[in-house]
Amino acid sequence: MPRQDPRTLFGFDGRRFAPCYDPGNRRARAFADAFGTLPDGSDLRRLELPVEHLAADRFRLYGALDLAALRREVDGPYREVLERLAGMPLFGYNDSPLALRHHQAWAEHVGRAALSASWHHHYAAALVIHVYRRTTPPERQGPAHMRLVYAVAAAADLLTSMTLVTDDWLDGSGTRNGRPAWHLRHPRSFANDHLIMAVQALNVLRWVVPDHHPLKRQMYDRAVRQIGHIAHYFAYHAVLDLRRDGGAPGADGADGAAPRPVPLDDLTLDAYESVTFSRATDWVDFMVALGRLLACYGDGIPDGGAFTEYLAGATTAACVIDDLVDADTGEDVRTGEPTIQLCLAVHKAKGLLGPVSEEDAADIRHTLTRHLGVDDAAHAGRVLRMYERHGVTELALDYLEGVLEQLPRLRRAAREECGAPGDLPAFLLRWLAIDRGGATERAGDCDALLGQERFRELVARLARPEEGDGLVRARVPGPARS
């Protein structure tokens, strides 16, 4: 049988080897065009934006914080938009049946399934939505405007979830919001899924935000900066792993102790301020920035002044609460997380909280050196018992009380500087305690902690509006129930 000409057999004449190459991602553009067209005929590409805010050096406030309404909004119309955005084409190489039916299908699965277990039920999205609603007039909150807001909120949600799946993996966490953690459900695709969420967040900001939005580039650039922040924050855990393996200075324990991966000498209250900025403040600042940029507040709103200090105080309180309600699990001790308890213990051992006996200082240092950062329940138990012996938990409660006492002052300063919404601390503290049918982790513990007598009036004060601010419709915690 004569050999067939390969050109004829395989159809090489006229065949393209990159037939689906589409660097402009025309599918994503078409998707965004369809997404931006609403049933009533309105179109995001012709949306009237609140450009009157561009030159403003103060926020103009409208409405009030209504947590019940915000929960309904997040669970209803926001989730509908989120579900639709999960189908956004990932990249410009997706014309083949294989890419469409498999590669793109997995990207859609990640968008739906990973975000369904989002951090405290879409904390990031809720804050973006709240900031936009508080700083724009009602006529700029119609269906088309809110579709755009929900899309940008979804980008914040994607980047936050990207951080959480990595955080759960680094911490060895088994669950997230009552379900197996993502790295346990999808160990093979875990690293790839991390990238999918980052790319989809940027795709939303690139394709869905209309080109005529004057601050579109700033939103995109802020998201890119946040991705860099994620890599910076997780370097701490990477160095701990290196020290555990003996590949970094200071990894060997003293007197035959287990390897000492945690840099104890560097962990004081000053370190905790840096930790909370990386762990929470910069994230909350990112969410607030997306909300204000959507509302067209530009460079007139200060960056890094009293407003940032206000956000830092509120997020520090939220971090301390998180550390306190997490303490009993011992998870933070096993991973060497720089919690408020750890930083206070080191601070105390150094005599920075007042005189301390040599015996007590030695006990703190010895226990931390031998048992902190060891993934074993017995070691974690020794550290937790040491915290109780030396009153570290009570010190952490005192620290939280001090932070809460400072928040009204910080709120006033931010209000004077730029008219900042006075309800951001109330949002941060109350959303943590929302329980969605028992699915939200530690909701009851957060509620019980804030309901202690020493904190009730402080939290209630944060729920009271400043003069000229909107009322804060957020339930003040009651006494802890037995």
18-32 pLDDT, tens digit each: 777 777 788 888 999
pLDDT of residue 246: 59
Quick one: pLDDT band at residue 326, thresholds 50, 70, 90? confident
What is the predicted pLDDT for the residue at 441? 52
Summarize the confidence of residues 324-351 as an average pLDDT: 90
pLDDT on residue 328 = 85
pTM: 0.87
67-81, 244-258, 433-447: the lowest-pLDDT one: 244-258
Look at phi and psi of residue 442 and say left if phi exceeds 0, alpha if psi is from -120 to 50, else beta: left
Residue 222 has pLDDT above 60, yes or no: yes
Instruction: For residue 223, tell me if it sits in a domain.
Output: yes
15 falls within a domain: no
- Higher pLDDT: 269 or 168? It is 269
Q: What is the mean pLDDT of residues 102-112?
A: 82
77-90 b/e (C-beta count within 10 Å ≥ 16 → b): ebbebbebbbebbb
- The answer on pLDDT for 43 being more than 70 is yes
Distances in Å between the alpha carbon of 235 and those of 230, 246, 278, 342, 445?
9, 17, 11, 19, 30
Longest dimension (CA), the chain: 97
Lowest mean pLDDT among 372-376, 436-440, 477-481: 477-481
The mean of the pLDDT values for the chain is: 84
Residue 334 makes CB contacts below 8 A (sequence gap 6+) with 172, 373, 374, 375, 376, 377, 379, 380
Is the CB of residue 161 less than 8 Å from the CB of residue 114? yes
Residue 4: inside a domain, yes or no? no
Dihedral, 461, 464, 469, 471 alpha carbons, nearest 10 = 160
pLDDT of residue 254: 44
Tell me if 41 is assigned to some domain: no
Please check whether residue 147 lies inside any domain of the structure.
yes
Percentage above 90 pLDDT, the chain = 45
Residues of the chain above pLDDT 70, percent:
85
The SS3 call for residue 47 is: coil
Residue 58: give its domain's CATH number: 1.10.600.10
Domain containing 61 equals 49-473
Note the pLDDT of residue 364. Answer: 96
For CA atoms 385, 390, 394, 397, the dihedral sign is negative
* The pLDDT of residue 92: 64
- pLDDT one-digit tens code per residue, 121-169: 788 999 999 999 999 999 999 999 999 999 999 999 999 888 888 877 7
Instruction: Decide the pairing of beta strands 179-180 and 472-473.
Output: unpaired
**pLDDT (0 to 100) of residue 251:** 43
Averaged pLDDT, 40-69: 93
Greater confidence, 354 or 443?
Answer: 354
- Region 74-83: mean pLDDT is 92
Q: Give the count of domains, the chain.
A: 1
Residue 365 binned pLDDT confidence (cut-offs 50, 70, 90):
very high
Q: Which residue has the higher pLDDT, 13 or 424?
A: 424
Mean pLDDT of the region 288-315 = 92
Please indicate whether residue 88 or residue 4 has the higher confidence score (pLDDT): 88
Give the DSSP letter string of 417-437: HH---TTHHHHHHHHTT--ST
Quick check: is 6 in a domain? no
What is the mean predicted confidence (pLDDT) over 266-272? 86
The pLDDT, as a whole number, for residue 47 is 95
pLDDT at site 249: 44
Q: Is residue 39 part of a domain?
A: no
Confidence at residue 245, expressed as pLDDT on a 0 to 100 scale = 62
